[in-house]
Amino acid sequence: MKNNHNNIIRIKVLAEAFSSLSNKIVFVGGAVVELYCDDPARAEVRPTNDVDVVVELHNKGSYAILEEKLRKMGFKNDVFSGVICRYIYHDIVVDIMPDDENILGFTNIWYKEGLQNSLTYNLDDGLNIQIFPLELFLASKFEALNSNRHGNDYRLNSDFEDIIYIFDNRLKIKEEIINLENDVKLFLQKSLSTLLKRPYIEEEISSNLEISSSKARTARILSIWKTIIL
């Protein structure tokens, strides 16, 4: 899986760089999507242009300190992108996002909970990274999807594509979500219910699957969603 291999290489480079920081840093976004999947027959994951991480910060002052440390480590602000939290490190584009909305004026409502409940994931060679639990990763993806940052055409929306990839390739995802007993489950149920009301949802799901098996896989995903919201 070439795309996932490239994603992992970039994650490793960043993880080694971040290891010198005292801040808690968790990897999120499309670069880590396949880490949540366990179907051995899964299709290749989409390539990502950047790597997203969330960092635990307490105030604007702590963000300024972090920025100074990053610059000394070789991270450069990507001033041409127009994205305030974007850096370049050894040709890797990385968005370093705070968990507190007051620091840069934006965040994702699930970042704090994801940071507090992060899991250790072993890549290999003894290199560990932090990622969100499955349900909080999905919740953060749905929150991003609801913002329409990548548009309302879900055939071309990378947040929706990531959601579909996980539902298609996490073997026990239905049971895992059904067995939750918290506000995250309610949020996921509401989000899935909203998706099922979209007039062209079958086409939108199918567009994000391999053509040869898209009909059966679309039906399976819809069945999982309907069972979860019951």
How far is residue 193 from each of residues 68, 134, 142, 176, 207, measured CA to CA in Å? 44, 19, 12, 17, 20
Distance, CA of 199 to CA of 43 (rounded, Å):
26
Q: 181-194, pLDDT tens digit by residue?
A: 999 999 999 999 99
Looking at the structure, do residues 46 and 121 belong to the same domain, yes or no?
yes
- DSSP letter, residue 82: -
- Residue that is last in its domain, among 131, 155, 174: 131
Looking at the structure, do residues 179 and 208 belong to the same domain, yes or no?
yes
4: exposed, middle or buried (Cβ count in 10 Å: 0-12, 13-18, 19+): buried
3-state secondary structure (DSSP) of residue 95: strand
Looking at the structure, do residues 41 and 101 belong to the same domain, yes or no?
yes
Q: 53-77, pLDDT tens digit by residue?
A: 999 998 889 999 999 999 999 999 9
Looking at the structure, do residues 99 and 165 belong to the same domain, yes or no?
no
Looking at the structure, do residues 144 and 93 belong to the same domain, yes or no?
no
Q: 4-49, pLDDT tens digit by residue?
A: 678 999 999 999 999 999 999 999 999 999 999 999 989 888 888 8
Q: Which domain holds residue 16?
A: 2-131
Looking at the structure, do residues 204 and 110 belong to the same domain, yes or no?
no
Q: Treating both helix axes as pointing N-terminal to C-terminal, what angle do 183-196 and 214-229 enclose, rounded to 10 degrees? A: 130
Looking at the structure, do residues 119 and 196 belong to the same domain, yes or no?
no
The answer on pLDDT for 197 being more than 80 is yes
Residue 3 binned pLDDT confidence (cut-offs 50, 70, 90): low
The sign of the dihedral angle between the CA atoms of 135, 136, 139, 140 is negative
Q: For the whole model, what pTM was predicted?
A: 0.93
Looking at the structure, do residues 84 and 156 belong to the same domain, yes or no?
no
The pLDDT > 70 percentage for the chain reads: 98
- Residue that is last in its domain, among 69, 97, 131: 131
